[in-house]
Amino acid sequence: MMKISDLADNTGEWLRGTGPESDIVISSRIRLARNVAKYPFLSRANAKQKKELEELIRTKIEEAEVYPTLNYINLSELSSVDRLFLVERHLISKEHAEGEKERGVAFEKSENISVMVNEEDHIRIQVIRSGLELRETWKTIDDIDNKLERKINYAYSSQFGYLTACPTNVGTGMRASVMLHLPALGMTHHIEKVFNAVMKLGLVVRGLYGEGTQVSGDLYQISNQFTLGKSETEIIEIIEGVIPRITSYERMARKALISESREQLEDRVWRSYGMLKVARMISSEEIMHLLSQVRMGVNLGIINDIKMKTLNELFILTLPGHLQKLEGRELTSSQRNIIRALYVRKRLEKIETLKG
Amino acid sequence: MKCESCNKKYATVHLTEIVGNVKKERHLCEECAQSVNTQIAKVPSPTEILTNLINQVAPGINELSKIICPVCGLSYLEFRSHGRLGCPMDYTVFRKGLIPLLEKMHGSVQHVGKVPSRAGKELIKKNELMQLRNELNKAIEKEDYERAAELRDKIYEISGDNDENK
């Protein structure tokens, strides 16, 4: 079995900062909720049924050859830090980390694909890609779903579609979301307008880690709210239709900032970069803000000695679970602030020496 | 002002009772007021008020709240307070309550997306069986027993491994 620490050295492919619109669109993600027929949903399943389901789904994932190299991790055997680490990696959800009894996750080495077992639903398939790639992402996840469905009898009704534990997911069982970096719209206070427009289309805006999470680092997730009454491709078309309008709006706001107050903007970006290089303690909230500023600076060509991939990765690598994994022990929040500052400084120094 | 009941403590509770057309004021201390309060007509609990209200406004909801899924044991009321269903059967059992809820959430109550190929096969099978039965009836009407026997065998063959969907 693989160890969580094997993952700590690198990050998922979806953070590479490639693909269409990747200056603003960090990633595209789709998840499908599926349940096994003739079993209760997890809130009503007893320990024996949970165990049966876990075993059944785990073996079927293997048999279905969903993907040649899937690692399976049993979550009930992991420490809370390891589970937090997997949440930060977007390989499992918060609910899944905090769940009870037998549950697990199968994921592919590049971390593009993960299949959660016994989350809120029996099966949650997830595919993430860098940039705006919802159509490609759908193709991949549709294929995985087809392979699994040959082995597993899903709970399905011709009227309500795929039956899920929560009626907000019933129908397609699909949530498609796009993660956007919108610092200029935030700075110019135009972000509210975007939210209103998006909500009229039946879409919702959330923070970095989905439902109920706060927005930080100017990172927003836009996803569909409805799952019944529209087909998967229709839902994707609605999202793909609105994203380019938001990204061009963000680019316009950036241009306006440059033409109206270039010095101020440059000062902000460079100060943030400087802070990352010299600070001795950085809180998780502060680093999100600093990284966001620097990321925009790189996009605008103000800073050009740091790669997009490095910045995208730092958003994840400096999170509490990652820092504790890196240190190999549990840390208090002030200890984490010290380690975080040290870690970022080292990463940025490496860039300096490479340049020299 | 002293309490008119015990005449010791200060009256802090002032009650106004109206019996018929007569208005009567009473001034009591905290303790005496409490013992009086329990004597005064029983005040209905919030749940009772709510239940009464529900019964008046929409008697259907009360009926609905009594439904319990025979498969997983979840009651409709439990579902509404936690928002999670207990098993796939709940979609059938709580259908009446779910329809308006789904309409509100999704603006639709009919799935139009992906169909699992397994369900697809069964749907196809069902359709095929229906057609064969129609043909069989026609054959019997026409007294074409040879054709009827053929159709009967075919029906057995198709439905044989699929008892549930007969």
More confident residue, A146 or A11: A146
Give the C-alpha separation, A235 to A203, whole Å.
10
Is residue B91 within 8 Å of A160, Cβ to Cβ? yes
**A80-84, A139-143, A326-330, B19-23: which has the minimum mean pLDDT?**
B19-23
Q: Does A250 touch chain B (CB under 8 A)?
A: no
Q: Could you give the percent of chain A with pLDDT greater than 70?
A: 95
Q: Do B116 and A155 touch (CB under 8 A)?
A: no
Q: For an interface test with A, which of B105, B127, B162 has the most A Cβ atoms less than 10 Å from its Cβ?
A: B105
Chain A: closest CA distance from residue B80 (Å): 11
Give the C-alpha separation, A133 to A151, whole Å.
28
Name the token pair of A139: 């193709």
Chain A: closest CA distance from residue B112 (Å): 5
Q: Could you give the percent of chain A with pLDDT greater than 90?
A: 66
At residue B106 the predicted structure's pLDDT band, cuts being 50, 70 and 90, is very high
More confident residue, A65 or A241: A241
What predicted TM-score, i.e. pTM, was given to this entire model? 0.79
Give the C-alpha separation, B123 to A159, whole Å.
13
Please name the member of A37, A159, A232 whose beta carbon is closest to the beta carbon of B88. Answer: A37
Classified as helix, coil or strand, B99 is helix
Name the packing angle between helices A308-317 and A320-327 (round to 10°).
Answer: 80
Q: Do B102 and A228 touch (CB under 8 A)?
A: yes
Q: Would you call A134 exposed, middle or buried from its count of C-beta atoms within 10 A (0-12, 13-18, 19+)? A: buried
Q: Which residues of B touch A40 (CB under 8 A)?
A: 71-72, 86-87
Q: Do B109 and A166 touch (CB under 8 A)?
A: no
Q: What is the pLDDT of residue A213?
A: 56
At residue A74 the predicted structure's pLDDT band, cuts being 50, 70 and 90, is very high
Residue-wise pLDDT tens digits, A191-250: 888 888 899 989 998 876 655 555 688 999 999 999 999 999 999 999 999 999 999 999
In which region does residue A21 sit, left (phi positive, over 0), alpha (psi from -120 to 50) or beta (all else)? left
The backbone torsions φ and ψ at residue A207, rounded to the nearest 5 degrees and listed phi first, read -80, -170
Give the C-alpha separation, A323 to A338, whole Å.
10
Is residue B28 within 8 Å of B15, Cβ to Cβ? yes
Closest CA to A138 of A224, A76, A65: A224
Name the token pair of A4: 């969580």
Q: Do B117 and A150 touch (CB under 8 A)?
A: yes
Residues B7-20 as b/e (b if ≥16 CB within 10 A, e otherwise) read eeeebebeeeeeee
Q: What is the pLDDT of residue A356?
A: 45
The backbone torsions φ and ψ at residue A193, rounded to the nearest 5 degrees and listed phi first, read -60, -40
Q: Do B113 and A171 touch (CB under 8 A)?
A: yes
The residue of chain B with its CA nearest to that of A40 is B87
The helix (H) or strand (E) run that includes residue B47 is helix B46-57
Q: Which residues of A touch B91 (CB under 8 A)?
A: 157, 160, 163, 170
**Number of alpha carbons in the 13 Å side-chain half-sphere of residue B55:** 7
Mean residue pLDDT across chain A: 90
Give the C-alpha separation, A185 to A222, whole Å.
15
Name the packing angle between helices A320-327 and A333-355 (round to 10°).
Answer: 80
Q: Do A160 and B84 touch (CB under 8 A)?
A: no
Q: Do A166 and B85 touch (CB under 8 A)?
A: yes
Q: Does A161 touch chain B (CB under 8 A)?
A: yes
Give the C-alpha separation, A88 to A214, whole Å.
14
In which region does residue A161 sit, left (phi positive, over 0), alpha (psi from -120 to 50) or beta (all else)? left
Give the C-alpha separation, A140 to A23, whole Å.
23
Name the token pair of B9: 């403590």
Q: What angle do CA B20, B25, B26 make, to 5 degrees?
A: 125
Please name the member of A150, A155, A158 whose beta carbon is closest to the beta carbon of B88. Answer: A155
pLDDT for residue B41 is more than 60: no
Interface pTM, i.e. ipTM: 0.85
C-alpha distances in angstroms, A208 versus A15, A239, A305, A315? Answer: 13, 17, 26, 10
pLDDT for residue B166 is more than 60: no
Please name the member of B98, B107, B114 whose beta carbon is closest to the beta carbon of A229. Answer: B107
Residue-wise pLDDT tens digits, A79-137: 889 999 999 989 999 889 888 889 999 998 888 999 999 999 999 999 999 999 999 99
Closest CA to A330 of A88, A82, A11: A82
Is residue A205 within 8 Å of A192, Cβ to Cβ? no
pLDDT for residue B164 is more than 60: no
What are the E-state strand segments in A143-277?
A: 156-157, 161-162, 174-181, 203-206, 219-224
Q: Side chain identity at A135, as an amino acid letter? A: R
Give the C-alpha separation, A256 to A356, whole Å.
35
Give the C-alpha separation, A84 to A80, whole Å.
6
CB atoms within 10 A of CB A102: 22
The residue of chain A with its CA nearest to that of B83 is A166
Q: What is the pLDDT of residue A170?
A: 96
Q: Do A232 and B87 touch (CB under 8 A)?
A: no
Give the C-alpha separation, A330 to A291, whole Å.
24
Q: Do B85 and A168 touch (CB under 8 A)?
A: no
